[in-house]
Amino acid sequence: MSSEKNYKKITLYIVFFYFFLLSFSQFYNQHWTSILDQDPIIIYNSLLISSGFEQEYRDHPAYTTFLILGGIFKLLSIFFENFKLNELLLSDNIDQKFQLLFYISRIINTFCIFLSIFLLSKILEELKTKKITSIICIMFASFFLATYELLYLIRSEIISLMLLLVSIYYFLKFIKKENLIYSIFCGIFFALAILAKVQIIFLIFIFIVSIPFLFIYLKDNLDISVNKKFYSYKTGIFIISIFIVFFLLYQVFLGIIFFKETNDETFFLTNNVDFYFF
């Protein structure tokens, strides 16, 4: 058992340094205005929140994202200058100060991706997954194309996914321990995940489909004769097959079209890596 835990720890250390080095090599010479879609918007609105103002960006609220990043800016403002909007605007070099905020935001973003992988490993642990299976799942998540996209951008998706994984983790603890506090935490993080990115409901749907299987798997003393008949393992295989077919179609057709249109050469390095890996 101890050697199994050591393997998991080593795998997670490798994943952490892999993500950090890959992210650092991409953002260390990148200007904070180079990707206008979300990077400056999230930094600026988080700065507004930390300075006591209301957010201005409401097309895509991202409440949880601004709350987390703004909270970190607020904490840093206690010890350092230029982490409040009025101080930054009075600075002699606004561009340089915003660049610092960009670096901090990207580091936090990278850390959130690692936390998501770590939470996945904890969920697999709660599901009593074998060592080799857990490592393979961690590697799949690490090489998934969307992981690289989120690694190179400051967006709400990774925070939403991270919070959903926390919610799932507490739900599994609730099934096993039957402690009400776990269900409360599950609901809190579930709500925060939606407030970060409402599209997370698509992943929530997949999780809801799996709930009967979780009860069957984790509750040995549960009368599951009806559930076994309705939610057979053949049904589970059929559902998984649909998602795999959709994934392959996306990668072969839409993914190639998308990356032909992009102007960022960084993405070409990781284009379809997960497709070949799967």
pLDDT at residue 124 greater than cutoff 80: yes
pLDDT at residue 109 greater than cutoff 80: yes
The DSSP string of 149-174 is: HHHSS--SHHHHHHHHHHHHHHHHHH
What's the CA gap between 34 and 57, in Å, rounded? 19
What's the CA gap between 172 and 274, in Å, rounded? 28
What's the CA gap between 194 and 217, in Å, rounded? 27
**Is 163 within a domain?**
no
**Is 245 within a domain?**
no
pLDDT at 184: 92
**Is 208 within a domain?**
no
**Is 59 within a domain?**
yes
**Is 130 within a domain?**
yes
What's the CA gap between 101 and 97, in Å, rounded? 7
Comparing 115 with 36, which gets the higher pLDDT?
A: 115
**Is 40 within a domain?**
yes
**Is 276 within a domain?**
no
Average pLDDT over residues 127-154: 83
Torsion of CA 135, 138, 142, 145, to 10 degrees: 110
pLDDT at residue 210 greater than cutoff 80: no
Contact 157, 136 (CB under 8 A): no
**Is 244 within a domain?**
no
pLDDT at 77: 87
Alpha-helical segments (H) within the chain: 2-27, 39-50, 63-79, 85-89, 94-126, 131-143, 145-151, 157-177, 180-196, 201-218, 225-230, 233-249, 256-261, 266-270, 273-277
The total of structural domains in the chain comes to 1
What's the CA gap between 51 and 68, in Å, rounded? 14
What's the CA gap between 13 and 46, in Å, rounded? 30
The structure tokens listed for 160 are 């939403």
Percent of the chain with pLDDT over 90: 24
**Which residues span the domain enclosing 59?**
1-155
Residue-wise pLDDT for 53-93, tens only, equals: 888 877 666 889 999 999 999 999 888 888 888 888 888 88
CA 266 to chain centre: 20
What's the CA gap between 83 and 81, in Å, rounded? 6
pLDDT at residue 117 greater than cutoff 80: yes
Q: If we measure between CA atoms, which residue out of 80, 82, 81, 85 comes closest to residue 49?
A: 85
pLDDT at residue 278 greater than cutoff 60: no
Give 270's pLDDT tier (boundaries 50, 70, 90). Answer: low
Q: Give, in degrees to the nearest 5, the angle at Cα 169 between 176 and 228.
A: 55
What does the chain come to in residues?
A: 278
